[in-house]
Structure 1
Amino acid sequence: MDNIIIGTRGSVLAIWQANFIKDKLKTQFNLDSKLEIIKTTGDKFLDAPLSKIGGKGLFTKEIEEKLLNNEITLAVHSLKDVPINIPSSLTLAAITKREDIRDCFLSNKFSSLESLPKGAKVGTTSLRRAMQLKYIRNDLETLNLRGNVQTRLQKLSNNEFDAIILAKAGVNRLGISNKDIKFITPFESYIIIPAMGQGSLGIECREDCEILDTLKKLNDNKSFIECSLEREFIKYLNGGCQVPIGVNAIYQNDNNINMTAIIGLPNGKKIIKDNVSGSLNDNLALKLFNKVNNNGAKQVLKEALEMVESF
């Protein structure tokens, strides 16, 4: 196929991700492609918290419109940004092998969350992260942190924050090290439960895409199983990318899968946390949903959304 165009957001990390897929298309299938940078709603409103912008698909809608109009061939997303429900004529052709799934503490002054002084300012874009941070340390001040990774790191270096929280996958992909930030400390995934799909890339295209079968070959089966379970759980909750839900599936084999989830208020004062284990045929996402729902998960989410305006 000629003129393969990869749609992507314009951040350094998004371009790294798109180039990663571009290189795979070339090295594995001898397919040439080029990138098209597309500005999304989430990129246009950098001063407001994502939770206040509203709507789903803040980082995907405009890219999907280009796909639907046949203006691009495929899109590369951070999978955690991809809404559960995508347009009917589009498909997730592949979910790539996960990078590190964990969230990461970064600071130039303090080595860990525990070492932060009372009332320390911690920057994060995520209600999910804020909820879990406040649950662990309710004295912390969690503040909105928008912008690309470089902007966030600059704000940390300018002492606007005592620490910031980023996805470890992005830190790794951009080669950020202790030469850049003195302390980089990942949270274990059972301490801060990640977002659905964290660490994977989602490759989206039209269902009639000429290279759909080729794109499917970029799928990683283990990551696909884990991320699909996480996305299914979120679908049962009718949640999205900007609500305080963490979920993590760990696949060992078809008979050994563990899923953990957390739902709570942004201030960390109320949380529901549970887990299930079983096999691939056990409908674990539904079982986990039933457990948290029986403990009032939907009511907690309703309260959480009402609190967003004050976050």
Structure 2
Amino acid sequence: MSTQGDKIQDVALSKIGEKALFTKELEVALEDGRVDLVVHSLKDLPTTLPAGMGICAMLEREDPRDAVVLNPRHANLGTLDRLPPGSVVGTSSVRRIAQLRRQFPHLTFADVRGNLNTRLRKLDDPQGTYDALILAVAGMRRMGWADRISQILPESTILHAVGQGALAVECRLEDTRIFQLVKPLVHQDTQLRCTAERAVMRELE
């Protein structure tokens, strides 16, 4: 299924309501019974869910940190701080831009949209404008692109998004059958940590 977040590719996420764009259509399908459960990247899931919906499982978390993926012409540089002044770094995340701009004022940040493969194609385009991308380590590994990671940014440089690296299963609260079905997928440590992160974020919102 495609969501609005998948379809709208020419507008920055920060300008069109970041979170629910990737979940609303899926939750409507869940609510009206077309599907029995939905799997999300937890970082894309709003901290407040629609009435009658709940997270019935959080799977074991991958590395939650952010990665630098360099344009092949800069592969020998290795790290973000070695990019020349004015280099263009692609990311659609306001969180990433806000933190990295303070750490790397010599860089320019620009929006980049699309799924992972699309973003990498944009980075590698010889006529493209991007010198590097900031992407989630977890996504790179899950999609088989770990070898493209040039640098993993430490949390002292950039704090990861709430729930980043974890997958969540959303279902109808009344559907006890699904709760039992996905129970073996629950990773307790991930669930405790991510629930705490989401609780803090909910208060800040």
What TM-score results when the alignment is normalised by the length of structure 2?
0.93
Select between 204-213 and 77-86 the one with higher mean Cα deviation. Answer: 204-213
Question: d(CA) in 2 for partners of 1:55 and 1:162?
Answer: 25
Q: Secondary structure at 2:2's aligned position in 1? A: coil
Q: 1:200 aligns with which of 156, 160, 166?
A: 166
Structure 1: gaps (5+ residues): 1-37, 239-311
1:165 is matched with: 134
Say whether 1:120 aligns with 2:87: yes
1:178-231 per-position Cα deviation (integer Å, ceiling 9, x unaligned):
3xx4x5211112321000000000100111222212213311111111101110
2:58 is matched with: 95
**Is the 1:124–1:130 Cα contact (8 Å) retained in structure 2?**
yes
1:260-285 per-position Cα deviation (integer Å, ceiling 9, x unaligned):
xxxxxxxxxxxxxxxxxxxxxxxxxx
Q: Secondary structure at 1:194's aligned position in 2? A: coil
**Is the 2:66–2:153 Cα contact (8 Å) retained in structure 1?**
yes
Which runs of structure 2 are paired with 1:267-306 in the superposition (5 Å)? Answer: none
Question: d(CA) in 1 for partners of 2:47 and 2:146?
Answer: 33
How many residue pairs end up in the alignment? 198
Question: d(CA) in 1 for partners of 2:118 and 2:42?
Answer: 22
Question: d(CA) in 1 for partners of 2:136 and 2:6?
Answer: 18
2:43 is matched with: 80
The structural deviation recorded for 1:155 is: 0.8
Question: d(CA) in 2 for partners of 1:205 and 1:39?
Answer: 18
Structure 1 outlier segments of 4+, above 3 Å: none
Q: Which has the larger radius of gyration?
A: 1
Question: d(CA) in 1 for partners of 2:184 and 2:27?
Answer: 21
1:229-272 per-position Cα deviation (integer Å, ceiling 9, x unaligned):
1101110111xxxxxxxxxxxxxxxxxxxxxxxxxxxxxxxxxx
What TM-score results when the alignment is normalised by the length of structure 1?
0.62
**Is the 1:101–1:189 Cα contact (8 Å) retained in structure 2?**
no
Question: d(CA) in 1 for partners of 2:112 and 2:172?
Answer: 34
1:68-116 per-position Cα deviation (integer Å, ceiling 9, x unaligned):
0011010000000000110121110011110011100011213111111
Question: d(CA) in 1 for partners of 2:36 and 2:52?
Answer: 13
Say whether 1:47 aligns with 2:1: no
Which runs of structure 2 are paired with 1:19-34 in the superposition (5 Å)? Answer: none
Say whether 1:139 aligns with 2:139: no
Question: d(CA) in 1 for partners of 2:123 and 2:143?
Answer: 17
The structural deviation recorded for 1:55 is: 6.1
Q: Partner amino acid for 2:55?
A: L
The structural deviation recorded for 1:56 is: 4.0
Q: Secondary structure at 1:118's aligned position in 2? A: coil
**Is the 2:55–2:170 Cα contact (8 Å) retained in structure 1?**
yes
Identical amino acids, percent of aligned pairs: 40
Higher relative contact order (CA 8 A, sep 6+): 2
Say whether 1:226 aligns with 2:193: yes
| Alpha carbons of structure 1 residues 154 and 189: separation in structure 2 relative to 1, 3 Å | same
The structural deviation recorded for 1:126 is: 0.3
Question: d(CA) in 1 for partners of 2:4 and 2:201?
Answer: 22
More helix by percentage: 2
More strand by percentage: 1
Question: d(CA) in 1 for partners of 2:178 and 2:198?
Answer: 25
Structure 2: gaps (5+ residues): none
